[in-house]
């Protein structure tokens, strides 16, 4: 896109505002990574906290591992900043699916739509922290590698749950 997607304006608001709004009921919200000072302002205005990625610039798995390591609750929700239509209801369905999943060491819930699993958004048991860190340290950088190792529940959802902004045409 040539610019930080978090600060692209959609309907007069930064793109990062909608994922934060979708997590409005959460008692802990983190923005992981990035150095733009506006991230701190976005976090403060949404009653969230901006934290450094332990592995900046090394791909999404490092950011997920960072978020999991800081989570204070049994389930973490990972949302990328470029989901303009994700809703609190869709997030709640993912979280509920983790709680209802058969017992395992790392239950997770991912959106399944258009005949495929989407790796983000994601709800995952924070017991997966060690797994995410181990995968990262072994050279993996993708969230897909984490879900390949976790016990994933595919949650049917509308395409709006995963409609992201990857190019100017997507706006």
107-138: pLDDT as tens digits = 999 999 989 999 999 999 999 999 999 999 99
Q: How many residues does the chain have?
A: 171
Q: What's residue 1's pLDDT? A: 60
Q: What's residue 86's pLDDT? A: 94
**pLDDT band for position 73 (cuts 50, 70, 90):** very high
Q: Does the pLDDT value for residue 82 go beyond 70?
A: yes
16-31: pLDDT as tens digits = 999 999 999 899 999 9
pTM: 0.92
20-71: pLDDT as tens digits = 999 998 999 999 999 999 999 999 999 999 999 999 999 999 999 999 999 9
Q: What is the Cα–Cα distance from 130 to 115, expressed in whole angstroms? A: 30
Bridge partners for 9 per DSSP? 14
Domains of the chain: 5-165 (3.90.550.10)
Q: Which residues contact 59 (CB under 8 A, 6 or more apart)?
A: 141, 142
Q: Does the pLDDT value for residue 103 go beyond 90?
A: no
Residue for token pair 């590698």:
145
**159 is written with which tokens?**
């395409």
Burial class for 72, CB neighbours closer than 10 Å (0-12, 13-18, 19+): exposed
Q: What's residue 141's pLDDT? A: 97
Q: Does the pLDDT value for residue 81 go beyond 80?
A: yes
pLDDT mean over 147-156 = 94
């Amino acid at each position: 896109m040539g610019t930080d997607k978090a600060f692209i304006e959609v309907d007069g608001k930064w793109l990062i505002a909608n994922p934060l709004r979708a997590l409005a009921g959460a008692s802990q919200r983190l923005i992981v990574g990035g150095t733009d000072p506006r991230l701190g302002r976005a976090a403060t205005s949404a009653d969230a906290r901006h934290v450094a990625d332990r592995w900046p610039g090394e791909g999404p798995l490092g950011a997920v591992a960072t978020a999991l390591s800081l989570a204070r609750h049994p389930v973490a929700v990972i949302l990328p900043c470029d989901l303009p239509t994700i809703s609190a209801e869709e997030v709640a369905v993912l979280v509920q699916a983790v709680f209802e999943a058969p017992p395992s060491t790392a239950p997770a819930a991912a959106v399944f739509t258009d005949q495929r699993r989407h790796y983000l958004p994601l709800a995952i048991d924070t017991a997966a922290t060690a797994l995410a860190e181990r995968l990262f340290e072994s050279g993996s950088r993708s969230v897909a590698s984490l879900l390949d190792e976790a016990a994933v529940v595919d949650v049917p959802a509308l395409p709006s749950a995963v409609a992201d902004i990857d190019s100017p045409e997507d706006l």
